[in-house]
């Protein structure tokens, strides 16, 4: 959290910062990259224990700049194990799809807009006998805010890009219990609509934060170091879950 605070203060500061003028009014960047992530979760339907572990992170998406705003799409996939102190383990498959449109506020560095997000987390427990598969899926819309600043360090041009998304209207699905008699994804009646709920902050409290330092390259391409944090707490089912995903990635922005 200290790293996040430092980057955010640096990002919001005015020292050595100037209004961005390096981007053309209309440009498109394809983003591809990967890195390392750490997932931590406490799923009361699965276990009261805290599970955590390092995983691989893979991303693709785009930034489409237009004269009046920017279209952004980030698709991130994580894969890897988590474990508890007891030695029990899970194999995890998670993904996030964050899309949105942002427009500058009064021509300044602050941008406001709306976002459409999808989150999916699937876990296979390796040692439970009576149940082994758990999942939660959320589709949401909400506001988003961003700030983009150019700055110079060591006579090099850099860009700092930060974005915050807070989903407000959420459709969520999370089973109360996963047993051998009711395994999801294996029956003809899937999805089971008994598990689907619609709500807002009373249902899911979710924060999505991305901070990226970008270095312009030759031929209009860019190289970015991205920190992504996705945290949520939900009461979709009687057994709540709290989950955090932190991801550090290197992304190549290819201008098309």
**When comparing pLDDT for 152 and 32, which is higher?**
32
| pLDDT (tens digit per residue) in 193-224 | 567 888 999 889 999 999 999 998 888 899 99
Average pLDDT along the chain? 83
Inform me whether the pLDDT recorded for 47 exceeds 70.
yes
**When comparing pLDDT for 245 and 22, which is higher?**
245
| pLDDT (tens digit per residue) in 165-181 | 999 999 988 876 655 44
Inform me whether the pLDDT recorded for 249 exceeds 80.
yes
Q: Among residues of the chain, what percentage have pLDDT more than 90?
A: 52
Q: Give 203's contacts (C-beta < 8 A, 6+ positions apart).
A: 170, 172, 197, 234, 235, 236
Tell me what pLDDT residue 194 has: 63
CB 195 within 8 A of CB 182: no
Q: What angle do CA 209, 210, 214 make, to 5 degrees?
A: 160
Tell me what pLDDT residue 172 has: 87
Tell me what pLDDT residue 191 has: 52
- Provide the pLDDT confidence category of residue 149 given band limits of 50, 70 and 90: confident
């Amino acid at each position: 959290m200290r790293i996040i605070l430092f980057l955010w203060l640096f990002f919001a500061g005015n020292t050595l910062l100037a209004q961005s003028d390096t981007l053309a009014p209309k440009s498109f960047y394809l983003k591809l990259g990967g890195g390392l992530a750490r997932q931590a979760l406490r799923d009361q339907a699965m276990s009261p224990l805290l599970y955590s572990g390092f995983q691989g992170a893979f991303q693709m998406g785009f930034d489409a700049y237009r004269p009046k705003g920017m279209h952004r799409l980030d698709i991130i996939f994580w894969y890897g194990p988590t474990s508890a102190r007891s030695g029990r383990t899970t194999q995890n498959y998670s993904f996030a799809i964050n899309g949105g449109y942002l427009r500058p506020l009064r021509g300044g560095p602050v941008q406001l807009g709306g976002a459409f997000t999808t989150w999916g987390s699937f876990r296979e427990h390796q040692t439970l006998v009576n149940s082994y598969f758990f999942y939660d899926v959320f589709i949401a819309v909400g506001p988003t805010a961003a700030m983009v600043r150019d700055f110079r360090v060591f006579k090099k041009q850099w860009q700092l890009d930060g974005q915050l998304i807070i989903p407000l209207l959420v459709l969520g699905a999370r089973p109360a219990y996963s047993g051998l008699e009711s395994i999801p994804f294996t029956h003809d009646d899937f999805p089971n609509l008994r598990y689907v709920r619609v709500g807002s902050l009373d249902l899911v409290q979710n924060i999505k934060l991305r901070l990226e330092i970008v270095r312009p390259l030759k031929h209009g391409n860019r190289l970015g170091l991205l920190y992504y944090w996705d945290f949520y707490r939900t009461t979709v089912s009687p057994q709540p879950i709290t989950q955090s995903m932190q991801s550090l990635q290197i992304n190549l922005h290819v201008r098309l």
